[in-house]
Structure formats: structure tokens, C-alpha cells
Structure 1
Amino acid sequence: MAIHRVWVYASAVLLTIICSIFADQTVDPKVGVLFLHVLDRGYYQEGFRSFQETYGIITNTPITFSTNLDDHPDRPRWLRFTQRTAYHDGMLYGTPTAEDIGQRIIEVTAYNRKTFETTSQNIIINVEQPMEFKFLYQVEFFVKNRDVEEVLPLEVQKHFMDRVERIWESSHFSIINITSALDRGGRVPLPIEGRKEGVYINVGSSTPFPSCLEEEARPDELCTDQLEPISCEDIFSPHFIINWCNITL
């Protein structure tokens, strides 16, 4: 009888652990600032029965995700989703506006492409008021040698911002938005090694623009995307190749 009680208790604990893994998760994006939430494949793999039957051994299982409002087939208009392949993590990202303040629930469904199992989780998104700083000065860079999935990770964003700080000479700024060139009408690149979609990165600050950026943004009929910057030191290359003819203030 004692053994039976221990087994029932252990089963209850295991069930609680499995259920708690995919309890609702709450995130709090702010108006006017880039939001990023990573859908980790290893995390969702733990919800598949096949994972539990193999004693919790994480494998390189192909997993894809679908994301939508809990009461609607689409996502909020400001929220995008990207996943390069079934062997990459998914990413929810975007920049909410004042019209988006409030709570919405996103239902995430993970699909195991080997066993056809599914598991799901609700992401509760509470869009909050904008930050204290007002980003009155905004500049948009077009990075030619990156895909959107490559610049969304926080460590890559930090590397980009470190370079912006050297030009702007201010620490009061933030990435406001990141957009794939495909979402701006760009063409899908040919499947040739090194070809990228291109990414627009919008940076905002409470500090006025440095003079070199203002000069770079002046229209020039002779400008081509092969030219070097006129005034700013190109501290982005080779990690981020900027189209200096496509700077927008």
C-alpha cells in the first residue's frame, strides 16, 4: 500500500510538472519599442509524448509553429512571426502602437514534423504605455547583408546598437522596429550563397541627430548603393553592410 501511495504521489508530481511547463506565459511589450519573444524548439519538445517516452532526451526534432489570436485566425496587425526552417526557433516580434494598448492572447501550437504530435501554449500579451523617454529623433538603416532572423536575437541587436552609439554619441536610444525587406515589397533573393533579403532597422533617440547622419540622409541623384558613406565613419562593416543611399531620418 505504501508503495502504491508513493507511485500515485510521484505520478501526480510528474503530471504537475508536465502541465506547468505549458502554463500561460505573460509578456509586457511597450508602445513604440521593438518586442521579441522566442519560441524555443527544445522547450516545446518537452510537451510531446514521444519526448516523455524517451526519458526526456532532447533531439534535433523538426518542429514548426503556428501563432494566432485565441479567438481569431490571425495575429494582431503589429505582431509578426518568422521561422527560417523546422530546425530553427520561431520568433514573434513587432512594435505595438498606442492603439494596441491592452491585453491579447496568442495561441502557439507546436507541430512535431516526425511524429505529427502537437502541443500548445497561450502567450498573454499586455501592451503597456510607452517608455519615459520620447524617441523624437528616428533614423532607419537598410542592412543589405542580413535576413530578419539574423538580426532579431538580442545579442545581434546589441552589436548593432554599439555601432550606432559610436556615431550618435548618446546612450538614450533604442531599436524601435526591425522589418524584413520582403515586407516592404523586396524580392526574394536567388538561392545563391551570400544573398540575403535585407533588413530595415529603425532606431530612435531623445538626442538630436549627429551632423554626419543628417548629411548622409540628404538626397543625392548620383548616389548608388555601392558608394561609401560621405560623412559618417563606416563602423558597421563588415558585420552590417549599410546602404548609405537609403538612410531615412
Structure 2
Amino acid sequence: MEVQTPSNSFLLSSADAINGTVNWKTKQANSFLISRIKAVEKNVYTILSKVHSDRNVYPSAGVLFVHVLEREYFKGEFPPYPKPGEVNNDPITFNTNLMGYPDRPGWLRYIQRTPYSDGVLYGSPTIENVGKPTIIEITAYNRRTFETARHNLIINIMSAEDFPLPYQAEFFIKNMNVEEMLASEVLGDFLGAVKNVWQPERLNAINITSALDRGGRVPLPINDMKEGVYVMVGADVPFSSCLREVENPQNQLRCSQEMEPVITCDKKFRTQFHIDWCKISLVDNTKQVSTYQEVIRGEGILPDGGEYKPPSDTLKSRDYYSDFLITLAVPSAIALVLFLILAYIMCCRREGVEKRNMQTPDLQLVHHSAIQKSTKELRDMSKNREIAWPLSTLPVFHPVTGEIVPPLHTDSYDNTSMPLMQTQQ
């Protein structure tokens, strides 16, 4: 069942067993190929839309949202405009960002493999953004003419019924890339297969994630290898016995040995989807209990300081006069007092020679004076003593002229300081 929502966004629904293809045309003469599976009871759905102008879309929180950026539309906006019947295949790339910000919201991803393929916006809106319009700026670049075109996509997130679904399963599909899985007919076939295995009353595609975003490696370019994709679906009924087979001890042992487990319902997927059953994740939100544990205070655990209160946004001016007095004035005053005390001790408390002599006994002073007087007399006598002159200082004849050369020193010379050996001239 196709339901047209405001501004040409579409609600794709599917359910069990009977596959079909509907070629649906809009008033703008743009066709959409939508895979459909007729439902008996309630529907499996995901939201799809295609861009052709500035528009509003209305996705639901917790349901996969897919928005296709078509190159065919943007080709007509770049000059030179193609003539009727002329084939124009310019390389076109897209840049998407939240208005006023350099990147997209955290829940919204974008992928475009090559400039010759369409771009895809996809993700699962969060409940926190319900009722808040999100404006995405879409800029298309023509890599041949360097022309640009810009459109705005207004995403109005609405609350979904029965959100979140209590039973969620995440499958890892090895033979698919994320842009291939986002195609409406491929995703519809996968949800139909899950519907046949699980048999829920309500089944939603919650999120799609590339294996590269989970830390996977880029595959080798041989044998048309794929990077793999994670698909999360949610339902309102417990998991089927087929999905529970992964938790068997035998299958767990085979997974630990890197062998494929034995799953009875794998043949319902194998024709189109190769699922790695060892990486399937089953989450039952009805049995999840709070993991909060009471903290027992002891060594190494600080007391609770209460709730953190950040400082206010408005900062007040601070007076640094008191800080100046504490850091500069007080140490300077203490240093000055210590300097004055030291100067008084060194200059004003000196005893002097007279005071020292007054405190010294007379006998000691006389004895000291006698020693100084005797030392002076000995020094005077040593200056006047007569000794023989060294031979080197006697008169000699000049070897050339034959004249007598006087000694180097006169008789009045202080012989006490004369060296023993004199240098002859």
C-alpha cells in the first residue's frame, strides 16, 4: 500500500509472501519503482522519497528514512542545457549539511559511490528530534562545468506508533553494499523474507549501517566482493524458533571455529541474501533490567560532591589589588625588615680595636707588643747585613774591547732581595 504524505514523500508498506512491482508516476512525470508485498494484517514499512525541488518530508522516529538525490533532475539545471534527444552524462556530486553547520545531524548518513551514480541520504531519526524541523542544504556540483545548484530539504520528524518496538534483530548481509540494500525493491524483498521467518504483526526497518562504519575492511576488487551491510529490524512479537537457533551450543561452537552454523530458515534468504548468522544480534528490550549497582564506599572512592554546577556564562570583573598585596607587598616588607636587622647587627654592634684592648689583660698586651717589636728589629737587621758578592757579580773584562765591566749591582743595593744567580749581559 502506497500512502502519499505531504510534499511528495512516500510511505512504502509491505508484508508477507506475494511479491509485486508497481510503477508509480507523479504529476511531475517522474516514475518510481517500488517493490510491494501484499499484506494480510498490518504492514511492514519504511519511508522513501526522491528530491525534485525544495520540499518537506515527514519521517517517523525509529523508522528507516531514505532520500534519493537523482542526477537526472540536476542535469537540467546546469548549462549548457541539453537539447531534446541529446545525451548528457556530466559527473555530478552532492554535498549535504545541516543549515548553518558544516555537517549533517548524527542520525543522518550520506553515500554516493561515483559521480555518475545517485546520492542517498539515509538514517533512523531519533525521538529527541520529534517536532523539530531539520533543514538539510543539498548542493549539487557539476564536475565538468563547475556549476552548482542548491536545494533545501526540510525534515519534519513525527512520533511513530508503538515506538520503540520491543524485539529487535540485526542481520549482517555479506553480499550487499549499503546503496544496494537501500534500494526499495531490495529492502522490500528482505523485509518480506524476515516477515515469513518471524511472522510478526508489525515489522519495521529501523536502521541500515555499512560494515565499513563498524570497523570492517574495504574488500578486495576480485570476484565482485561486497563490503557487507548491517540491517536492524524491529517487531512486536518474540523471536521465532528459527532465529533462536543461533543461540544453540552446537551453533555457538561452530561459530567459535569459524564455521557456518546450521540454520533451518537460511534457505529462505540464501536465494538473494547471504546472511552471516554468527553476527546476528537479538535484543529483547522487555527483559532488559537496569545495570545500575549501588556503590559501596570504601578506600579509593571519594564522597559524592553533589551535582556539578558549571560557572555562569556571564563573567564578572575581578579586582587584583588584594592579590598584588599578598604576592608582592607582603614579601617585600618582610625582606626589608630582615635587611634592617642585619644592617644593625653588622654596623651598629661592632666592638672595635679599643674595646678589644680594654677587655684584654695587660700582661697579654705587653707580651704581644714585645713579639711585634722583636720581629721588626730582626727585619731591620737583615737589611743591613754584609755578605760576599757572588762571583757572577765581580768585575770582568769585555771579551772584545778588553774594558772592565762594572758589577751588575752597586754597594748600596739591597742584597737581601738579590737572587743567587744573576743573568749576565
TM-score (norm 1): 0.85
Task: Determine the C-alpha separation between the residues in 2 that align with 1:22 and 1:138.
Answer: 34
Task: Determine the C-alpha separation between the residues in 1 that align with 2:148 and 2:161.
Answer: 38
Aligned match of 1:76:
105
Q: Structure 2 vs 1, CA of residues 137 and 62 (structure 1 numbering), >3 Å: closer, same or farther? A: same
Task: Determine the C-alpha separation between the residues in 1 that align with 2:127 and 2:52.
Answer: 30
Alignment of structure 1 residues 53-132 onto 2, 5 Å: 54=83, 57=86, 59-101=88-130, 102-132=132-162
Match of 2:279 among 241, 246, 249: 246
* 1:183-234 Cα deviation digits (max 9, x unpaired): 1111111122321110000010112111121222457133155515334342
TM-score (norm 2): 0.51
Aligned match of 1:6:
none
| SS of alignment partner, residue 234 of structure 1 | helix
Question: Which structure 2 residue ranges, 5 or more long, are not aligned?
Answer: 1-27, 29-50, 283-425
Q: Greater RCO between the two (CA within 8 Å, min separation 6)?
A: 1
Runs of 4+ residues deviating >6 angstroms: none
Aligned match of 2:253:
221
Identical pairs, percent: 50
Q: CA RMSD in A?
A: 2.1
Task: Determine the C-alpha separation between the residues in 2 that align with 1:218 and 1:179.
Answer: 27
TM superposition shift of 1:170: 2.8
Q: Structure 2 vs 1, CA of residues 74 and 108 (structure 1 numbering), >3 Å: closer, same or farther? A: same
Task: State the number of aligned residues.
Answer: 229
Q: Structure 2 vs 1, CA of residues 229 and 120 (structure 1 numbering), >3 Å: closer, same or farther? A: farther
* 1:90-145 Cα deviation digits (max 9, x unpaired): 00000011112211110001111111111110000111112346511110100001
Task: Determine the C-alpha separation between the residues in 1 that align with 2:164 and 2:221.
Answer: 41
Structure number with greater Rg is 2
Q: Does the Cα contact within 8 Å between 1:133 and 1:206 map onto a contact in 2? A: no
Aligned match of 2:289:
none
Question: Which structure 1 residue ranges, 5 or more long, are not aligned?
Answer: 1-16
| SS of alignment partner, residue 202 of structure 1 | strand
Q: Structure 2 vs 1, CA of residues 118 and 170 (structure 1 numbering), >3 Å: closer, same or farther? A: same
Q: Does the Cα contact within 8 Å between 1:139 and 1:247 map onto a contact in 2? A: yes
Q: Structure 2 vs 1, CA of residues 225 and 120 (structure 1 numbering), >3 Å: closer, same or farther? A: farther
Find out whether 1:139 has 2:172 as its counterpart.
no
Find out whether 1:156 has 2:189 as its counterpart.
no
Bigger Cα displacement from structure 2, 55-64 vs 236-245: 55-64
Alignment of structure 1 residues 205-216 onto 2, 5 Å: 205-216=235-246
